[in-house]
Amino acid sequence: MDSPAHMNRTEKLALITPWINPEERITVQFDDQRDINTVVTGCTEQLVDLELETPVPHMRQKLSIPLSELEVSEDSTHYTRDPDKPLQFKRLLLIVKGKRPAIVY
């Protein structure tokens, strides 16, 4: 497999799509924030739709990020949590170029 920086949109889409699940978390990191628990709500060949956890309980920041602005990798420091699926000792990691957008409350 090519290095994550050289993946095309179709390859990124194929890796992200299985993680579209409201019961499953992935990890997202920006240039200024790391290790953010996130839910993938959708993905196309152009955009990935995410809901990032915020400091306010039960409130998520909804973002759509162009696939061209992120790298897809693996987070081996977290395990999966969906009770209806087999436990995995790693989860999806999305590395976004740039800073996290401001959270609007």
Residue 81 is predicted with a pLDDT of 82
Q: What is the pLDDT of residue 4?
A: 53
pLDDT of residue 79: 87
Average pLDDT for runs of 10 along the chain of length 105: 68 96 95 96 97 93 96 93 86 96 85
| Sequence-distant contacts of 70-76: CB under 8 A, at least 24 apart | 70/12, 70/94, 70/95, 70/96, 70/97, 71/4, 71/5, 71/7, 71/95, 72/4, 72/7, 72/11, 72/12, 72/15, 72/16, 73/4, 75/26, 75/27
In the prediction, which pLDDT does 1 show?
37
Give the global pTM.
Answer: 0.90
